[in-house]
Amino acid sequence: MNRLELKYGCNPNQKPAEIYMADGSDLPLQVLNGRPGYINFLDALNSAQLVKELRQATGLPAAASFKHVSPTSAALGLPMSDALKKACFVDDIEGLDDSPLALAYARARGADRMCSFGDFIALSDTCDATTAQIIKREVSDGVIAPGYTPEALEILKAKRKGTYAVVALDPNYVPKEDERKEVFGITFLQGRNNVVIDKTLLDNVVTENKVIPTNAQRDLLVALTTLKYTQSNSVCFAVDGQAIGVGAGQQSRIHCTRLAAQKADLWHLRQSPRVLDLPFRPDIGRADRDNTIDLYLSDEDSGDVLDDGNWQRFFTTRPQPFTREEKREYLAGITGVSLGSDAFFPFGDSIERAHRSGVSYVVEPGGSVRDDNVIDTCNKYGMAMAFNGVRLFHH
């Protein structure tokens, strides 16, 4: 099959819509269930590249949660602590520890659960039944993987009353070196971004602290690979083999950093005893719990779930507020976080903000006229920063 008709394009009024191979060859994918849409395929094909490259860079199974052509998170199949399992709502999944791929998706979905709501999923390896069980109970549009076990495929086919999108991508597919797209009837041509993300990009450490341990190197590779498929400008915080905060599509780098840092802070706070022990009513589902936790952790909007007349809708007893000072004190103990940027930091302000979210390691291209200021700011906090010389804009 070399053409696949779609229901419509980005919006219902944009018809006709289809995907096809310009050279007339067969598509390197197969729709096993459902009817993926135009944006679904944009998410699927970008995220599939991300997890494939993460697999190649680290040797570990990888998963990504994609939404509106940017990752909410990408993660590797590493063990999860009991607190992280509870924060990601997967502490009841049988066999989770025995499936690295399921661990990867549990991490990717759980990093930013509000943004992951209604995501498209990419898996680096054949989808197994445990991974499919996690996917089954979350709100998402579809999944792309190199293959599916028979049991996993049956689980996924039953989702959304049989309409859930399941796509298999040929793992041996290699795209052409050039890529084209049209804007306003004008065709753009460029070479594919075939830059390889590996540890050699971390060799040029420009700060006084030259030590980037193995686990931080892995996290910096996660950040860089995630950025390669994130709408620019973009900044990514990563720790423990997963992206925990992605700031994408902002016009200034400091706004990207603030957005990513806020998400990273929420990821840490969700694992605090104060949040893990929230006395939710048993009839409150996962999506509503996510929204409630987000409001509970908000300095401005916590009253929406804590004020008298509100808390009774969510909790069995009224929780104690998590004050701004208490949250700052909790976050002050966080260290070892990695930060990647898809282009150079023009000022030290992003480093100042990153420090408040526990960043110890940084990778960015370098090349700003104010590189000295950025380096000095890293030195001020004892951070190790590498200049990789590679810009990773993606549009």
Amino acid identity of residue 67, one-letter, is K
Helix H segments across 21-171?
38-58, 82-87, 100-111, 113-116, 129-137, 150-157
395 is a catalytic site residue: yes
Residue entry with tokens 């054949």: 126
Which residues on neighbouring strands pair with residue 289, listed in sequence order? none
- Is 233 tagged catalytic? yes
226 and 71 Cβ atoms separated by less than 8 Å: yes
What residues have CB less than 8 Å from 122, skipping those under 6 apart? 44, 47, 48, 50, 51, 63, 64, 66, 143, 144, 145
394 is catalytic: no
Q: Which of 290, 278, 23 is CA-nearest to residue 139? A: 290
Name the active-site residue from 13, 161, 172, 395. 395
Concatenating the DSSP letter of every residue in 85-113 gives HHHTT-TT-TTGGG-HHHHHHHHHHHHTH
Q: Which residues pair with 352 in a beta bridge?
A: none
Which of 46, 233, 263, 388 does the annotation list as catalytic?
233
- 181 catalytic residue (yes or no): no
Q: Which of the following is catalytic: 52, 67, 85, 263?
A: 67
Among all residues, which ones are annotated catalytic?
67-68, 233, 395
